[in-house]
Chain A
Amino acid sequence: MKKSVDFVWLEGELEAAVARKLLPELSLDISNAAFGVAKGNSRFWQEISRRNASAKAGLTVVALGDLEQEPCAGQLIARHLPRGCDNKFVLRLAVRMLESWLLADSEKMAAFLHIPLSKLPIDPDNLKHPKHELVRLAQQHGTKAIRQDLVPEQGHSGIVGKGYRPRIEEFIQSHWRPRVAAKRSPSLRRAILALEALSKR
């Protein structure tokens, strides 16, 4: 029987799309789960102890966020949750951003961006800024339609283009294969192990 998740706490919309894809593949039932989207790193962490408290109170809670430029995930979590995570709370962070998990399915990503497979990073968890890398790949090799969506307009200082979120969401929903991606992304591999352990708990 599938383990039922009650609450999923996510840093952004893309994490939500990843959770919707990933959790059901790992025998976690999300059909009754409430999805909370923090829409930003600051709010994600602000609320993290409340999510842990919900787990303490008996709910099964999963949280997905980005490590960003923090040196160590353990220290970052300890700062926000000094007494550690509850047994029913799984908090996983992509190293350094969710995009490394997506780039890790290199075949599908190359096909999606219409770029040569050889251009994809071998070790996406080691990228300093996976989002920049994804946008850079799109800019250098992508089709016009891809560039218009993923790359910031000339002269604009944003990190991603105006159609980035829906375009990448589409990739996650229709193409991304978490188990294939896990082979190249250790942080995704560890996340899958932790979620599988939760499903058996």
Chain B
Amino acid sequence: MDTMRFTRLSLKNWRNFKAVEDLPLCRRAFIVGPNAIGKSNLLDVFRFLRDLTLEGGGLSKAVESRGGMAAVRSLHARQKTDVMIRVDATNDAGMGWRYVLSFNRQDNKHPRPQVIEEKVWALNGGEPTNCLLDRPDKHDKQDPERLSQTALQQTTANQEFRGLAEFLRTVTYIHLVPQLLREEQAPLPTRLGTDPFGRDLLDRIRSTPPRFQKARLSRIQKVLKIVAPQLEELAFELDDVGRPHLAAKFKHWRGQGARQRETQFSDGTLRLIGLLWTMQEKAGPLLLEEPELSLHSGIVSKLAPFIHRAQMAADGRQVILSTHAEDLLSDPGISPEEVFLLQPAIEGSEIIAGAHHNQIQKLMSSGLLASEVVVPMTTMSQLDLFDRAQP
């Protein structure tokens, strides 16, 4: 398999993470933690990198669309207030790139972000071989205005590592919100690039060549048949004014069945369709926000090996997901190396990689499940007060 994926991540002052040191990421990653600990903020790093590379994106837009430097930078940043992101992205053979970006606001008068440091290395066997970019360089010194942009976003500047930019561009985030998908497809003000809440799912289906579109929908239909046997003949169609829809036949007592569109599908069905579709897209890492929502616990407990099967199919994409669900984490095939536990720290949140945590390693390699080991670690220390809180 030659699919590129993120293999390492380090952060400084990113949102509520003051420091993340060299997190090893594998093909599947499960980010686990209590509410409001920063699971979405962690996934957002990868979306941020994608936003840098999008048309109409770039550093200023990516920062601005997140509410400016004040929102992007950790509240706990002190003297060294630069935000730093470092990722390694390689294929299975360890060929790929390392990308490092540090940025900060220009100065107090000019709040827009500026590049403090930007570096790209070529990686071979996972190790850096040669440096392809090292900024600020002499051109930046001559014209500091250049530092308002990353080299990643400029096709003229990223010639030697365009593959990296292309990889980052294929990062997909889904947090399908059925209510929004059901709304008419009027263009709503969205954040940069692809729509975070899955409203563009129907457009993505539309823009897929008919042959693949049909094959993918037919695979989805097969899964739906298992979990929602009353839905048949899932198909893509355009309405009178050319808007895209999904339609299926809903079997009922009349025998004929009724034709339904996505606006009438249940939340669970819609989320499952979104999940199944994106799993089949040939692309870079897929970020899934709580895929368990509105799904039956029986299905949730089968999601982890399902993702594995999808990945074993040709060019399976990396999946980084956040979850609260014990059921999802109860599969015995989840290894400690795939688990990332978010915990409150003295300043902000910290990430514990299962690979680096002796107790998680010890318990899970004795046969305990991730749900038995990690979920109890996420229980909030004061949860019993919730029982006494006045609603």
Interface residues of A (CB under 8 A from B): 12-13, 39-43, 68, 131, 148-149, 152-153, 155-166
Contacts and interface: CB of A to CB of B under 8 A. Distances in A.
B337 A161 contact: no
Given A39-B327, A39-B371, A157-B337, 17 more contacts: A39-B326, A39-B369, A39-B372, A42-B368, A43-B372, A131-B367, A152-B335, A156-B26, A156-B335, A157-B355, A158-B335, A158-B365, A160-B333, A163-B305, A164-B305, A164-B332, A166-B309
B312 A148 contact: yes
Nearest to B307: A162
Contacts of A165: 305, 331-333
Contacts of A160: 332-333
B334 A41 contact: no
Interface of B: 26-28, 301-302, 304-305, 308-309, 312, 326-327, 330-338, 355, 361, 364-365, 367-369, 371-372
Contact of B305 (A155, A156, A166): A166
A40 B368 contact: yes
B334 A40 contact: no
Contacts of B367: 41, 68, 131, 159
Contact of A162 (B304, B336, B369): B304
A12 B337 CA distance: 22
B335 A40 contact: no
Contact of B336 (A40, A131, A157): A157
Contacts of A43: 372
Nearest to A158: B335
Contacts of A155: 337
A142 to B, nearest CB: 14
B334 A162 contact: yes
A162 B28 contact: yes
B365 A157 contact: yes
Nearest to A66: B367
Nearest to B302: A166
Contact of B333 (A41, A42, A163): A163
Contacts of A149: 308, 312
Contacts of B371: 39-40
A43 to B, nearest CB: 7
Contact of B312 (A12, A40, A157, A163): A163
A46 B28 CA distance: 31
Contacts of A41: 367-368
27 contacts: A13-B301, A39-B301, A39-B326, A39-B327, A39-B330, A40-B371, A40-B372, A42-B368, A43-B372, A148-B312, A149-B308, A149-B312, A153-B26, A153-B335, A153-B337, A156-B335, A156-B337, A157-B355, A158-B332, A158-B364, A161-B333, A162-B305, A162-B334, A163-B305, A163-B333, A166-B302, A166-B309
Which 9 A-B residue pairs are closest in the complex by CB-CB distance? A158-B335, A162-B308, A156-B335, A162-B333, A39-B330, A40-B372, A156-B337, A164-B333, A157-B365
A64 B369 CA distance: 18
Contacts of A164: 305, 332-333
Nearest to B376: A42
A39 B26 CA distance: 25
Contacts of A162: 28, 304-305, 308, 333-335
Nearest to B362: A157
A146 to B, nearest CB: 12
Contacts of B27: 153
B30 to A, nearest CB: 12
B309 to A, nearest CB: 6
A174 B367 CA distance: 26
Contacts of B338: 156
A158 B334 contact: yes
A42 B335 contact: no
Nearest to A68: B367
Taking each of B27, B333, B361, which has the highest tally of chain A beta carbons within 10 Å of its own beta carbon?
B333
A15 to B, nearest CB: 12
A155 B92 CA distance: 13
Contacts of A156: 26, 335-338
Contacts of A68: 367
Contacts of B304: 162
A92 to B, nearest CB: 19
Contacts of A12: 332
A65 B377 CA distance: 25
A196 B326 CA distance: 35
Contacts of B305: 162-166
Taking each of A156, A160, A161, which has the highest tally of chain B beta carbons within 10 Å of its own beta carbon?
A156
B375 to A, nearest CB: 10
B92 to A, nearest CB: 10
Contacts of A131: 367
Taking each of B27, B305, B336, B337, which has the highest tally of chain A beta carbons within 10 Å of its own beta carbon?
B305
A163 B335 CA distance: 12
Nearest to A12: B332
Contacts of B327: 39
Nearest to B366: A159
A40 B330 contact: yes
B372 A157 contact: no
Nearest to A13: B301
A13 B304 CA distance: 14
Contacts of B368: 40-42
B298 to A, nearest CB: 10
A38 to B, nearest CB: 10
